[in-house]
Amino acid sequence: MSVPLARTDSFPASPALRDQRGRPLHDLRISVMDRCNFRCTYCMPESIYGDHYTFLGSQQRLSFDEIERLCRIAASLGVTKLRLTGGEPLLRPKLHELVARLRRIDGITDLAMTTNGVLLGRHATALREAGLDRVTVSLDTLDPALFHRMSGGRGALDEVLAGIEAAQAARFPRGIKLNTVVQRGVNDHTVLDLVQRFRGSGIVPRLIEYMDTGNRNGWRHDAVVPSAELVAAIHARWPLDPLPPSRDGEVATRFRFRDGQGEIGVISSISAPFCGDCSRARLSSEGTLYTCLFATQGTDLRSLLRDGSHDEALHERLRRTWLRRNDRYSEERRERRLRAVRKIEMHYIGG
């Protein structure tokens, strides 16, 4: 159970921290739930995360009070963007209430969520009214049978598409994106169909190279489809022109369709790592801060939230954690084919 908040006066906004490689802290990704209603093979394979698997109990996860408190302190250290992730964030009851609370934090200019979309139809309007700016939906294929298989036999494509339609109707001010993880020999042959479906819709597909996240997805380098290969295939069908980044530290390389029918993005963590611009920290649902998606260890914040510590202690731990940061796993993987022995699982900290 959470200890009552030991608040102090709010901290004045300060220039963004810089880590050991000069990278600022601008983005905080918050896992509000370690559970998921899918069992995607590259994240939570059914063979490991079956009915026998023990997830966190509700008292182990951070409360909304605790998340809001941490986000206020993070904003004082330069964070301007928050993204709610999972697991599946919409499994967390009353998530719109947390959105409303985070929306009111001074300095937060972008509030987003990543979801598998199955429950989005029920919640899109409430999330929009609470102040959510944008939604990203994970959608790996439009082939119903393949979608069902890739989601571990638990996902229904029509429910995800209905969720996307509900998000369109809700009119999120910063729009909707799709995250598509592309695996050679699995769903790479369906990419053009997906791109065609959403051309001209205002929805932006982002094609993601299959990554070695966690320790349990059986990742192989030969299953990666390089972004350049995907861009070439799309360009041959619908000519593309490159677009500049929309902001510093953007992970996707953007292209627009020459005929004006929207844009796509590619995320190339394997073939063209972007560690040098990474401005993201990740907070797990049980209150551990990670400074890299591929981290092997994190920094405990929950103990300070629950032992009566004042905000100054949390502020200092966050500050020191970022100042010590020196992660560049994806670049090291490319340079030396390095792979960490034991990384944090993606469902604890989001993608």
Task: Tell me the binding residues for S-adenosyl-L-methionine.
Answer: 42, 87, 138, 211
Residue list, annotated binding site for [4Fe-4S] cluster: 36, 40, 43, 275, 278, 292
Residue list, annotated binding site: 29, 36, 40, 42-43, 83, 87, 114, 138, 177, 211, 275, 278, 280-282, 292
- Distance between CA 190 and CA 188 in Å, rounded? 5
Beta bridge partners of 15: none
Q: Would you give the distance in Å from CA 344 to the centre of its chain? A: 14
- The interaxial angle of helices 227-237 and 191-198, nearest 10 deg, is 60
Neighbour-count burial of 27, counting CB atoms closer than 10 A to its CB (0-12 exposed, 13-18 middle, 19+ buried): buried
Which two tokens mark 316?
A: 């200092």
Closest of 36, 43, 88, 92 to residue 67, by C-alpha: 92
- Distance between CA 183 and CA 48 in Å, rounded? 20
User: In 3-state terms, what secondary structure has residue 204?
Assistant: strand
Residue list, annotated binding site for GTP: 29, 83, 114, 177, 280-282
Contact 259, 250 (CB under 8 A): no
- Distance between CA 162 and CA 158 in Å, rounded? 6
- Distance between CA 141 and CA 119 in Å, rounded? 18
Contact 317, 287 (CB under 8 A): no
- Distance between CA 287 and CA 215 in Å, rounded? 21
CA atoms in the 13 A half-sphere facing the CB of 6: 15
Cα torsion angle, 41, 180, 194, 272, sign: negative
The DSSP call for residue 183 is B
Closest of 259, 197, 265 to residue 231, by C-alpha: 265
